[in-house]
């Protein structure tokens, strides 16, 4: 079942087209990762799908319901966690949860039960009586998430949920997302992190207002634009990558190079012998060299597709 559908969704602000005919759909229970540089239109798409921004053109649907025409009908099915985890700083953790619960019509025992469930899910117990203003980034994010889940939405939108929080909190958030997904929640997550994108069941990449690619990560890596015919991808691990890179770049048959810490990722002509690379590096005084064939990463996918567009 398609939980989220965009059909030529477009948003113009005056002369600026912030979102340009974006179409995609997300199946129930999947985790959709939405990537793109700042200002490319990620948040705008999300706001339109949440019914708080009017599309200029095209339609968005949540569980088959048009978000612009029947905004009130989707409100119960969506949860939204905005950027920077907006919370009421004057309220405690407990009060924030109760407030959002009441806002969604919960009361009495039902409200308290739901609060307890969310506290158990997010481990917020020790911070219940603390003002939100005093929570650290990771805990603010959990609280914001718990608030967004208070009415058991079928679709949860998270706008850069891991921006500015520590790696442990980041990993724990993803564990939580997988748990929600297993419970049947459909997740729509914007992020800048490629490793997070790799964990999504489906990713979309928006660049200069246009969705340039969308699909499952593994399937995207097999795209012809990413793997031009007659090429192969190599991971070359060696000392002094900064010396090695300019040396290798001079070789004929090198299509693209990227540095990854202690190694280089090379896109080279298929017939290029690996020995040629070893010899070149030996000429530069580098002898310990390890060469492996690799599949493209999602980053490679986005870089390749962005270049095709540009």
Task: Look at strands 155-158 and 186-191 and give their pairing.
Answer: parallel
Q: Which is nearer to another protein, 103 or 222 (CB)?
A: 103
Smallest separation, CB 45 to another protein (Å): 14
Q: Which residues neighbour 291 within 8 Å (Cβ) at sequence distance 6 or greater?
A: 234, 235, 236, 237, 274, 277, 278
Long-range contacts from 276-283, C-beta under 8 angstroms, 24+ separation: 276/251, 277/234, 277/236, 277/248, 277/251, 280/247, 280/248, 280/250, 280/251, 281/236, 281/238, 281/244, 281/247, 281/248, 283/247
Smallest separation, CB 104 to another protein (Å): 6
Smallest separation, CB 48 to another protein (Å): 10
Q: Which is nearer to another protein, 32 or 80 (CB)?
A: 80
Q: Which is nearer to another protein, 49 or 214 (CB)?
A: 49
Smallest separation, CB 75 to another protein (Å): 4
Contacts to another protein by CB under 8 A: 13, 47, 50-54, 71-72, 75-76, 78-80, 82-84, 86-91, 95, 98-105, 147-148
Q: Which is nearer to another protein, 111 or 236 (CB)?
A: 111
β-partners of residue 181 are none
Is the distance from CB of 206 to CB of 22 less than 8 angstroms? yes
Smallest separation, CB 164 to another protein (Å): 14
């Amino acid at each position: 079942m398609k939980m989220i559908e965009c059909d030529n969704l477009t948003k113009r602000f005056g002369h600026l087209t912030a979102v340009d005919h974006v179409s995609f759909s997300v199946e129930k229970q999947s985790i959709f990762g939405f990537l793109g540089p700042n200002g490319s239109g990620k948040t705008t798409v999300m706001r339109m799908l949440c019914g708080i921004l009017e599309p200029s053109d095209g339609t968005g649907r949540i569980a088959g319901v048009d978000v612009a025409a029947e905004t009130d009908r989707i409100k119960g099915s969506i949860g939204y966690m905005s950027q920077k985890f907006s919370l009421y700083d004057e309220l405690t953790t407990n009060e924030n949860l109760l407030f959002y619960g009441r806002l969604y019509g919960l009361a009495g025992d039902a409200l308290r039960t739901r609060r307890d469930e969310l506290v158990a899910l997010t481990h917020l117990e020790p911070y219940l009586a603390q003002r939100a203003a005093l929570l650290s980034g990771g805990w603010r994010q959990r609280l914001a998430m718990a608030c967004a889940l208070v009415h058991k939405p079928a679709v949860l939108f998270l706008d850069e949920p891991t921006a500015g929080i520590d790696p442990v909190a980041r990993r724990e958030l993803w564990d939580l997302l997988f748990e929600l997904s297993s419970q049947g929640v459909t997740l729509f997550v914007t992020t800048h992190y490629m490793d997070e994108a790799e964990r999504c069941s489906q990713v979309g990449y928006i660049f200069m207002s246009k969705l340039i690619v969308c699909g499952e990560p593994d399937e995207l890596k097999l795209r012809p634009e990413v793997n031009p015919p007659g090429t192969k991808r190599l991971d070359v691990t060696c000392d002094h990558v900064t010396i090695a890179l300019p040396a290798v770049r001079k070789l004929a048959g090198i299509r693209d190079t990227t540095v990854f810490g202690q190694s280089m990722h090379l896109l080279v002509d298929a017939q290029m012998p690996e020995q040629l690379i070893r010899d070149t590096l030996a000429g530069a005084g580098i002898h310990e060299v390890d060469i492996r064939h690799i599949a493209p990463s999602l980053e490679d996918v986005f870089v390749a597709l962005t270049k095709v567009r540009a």
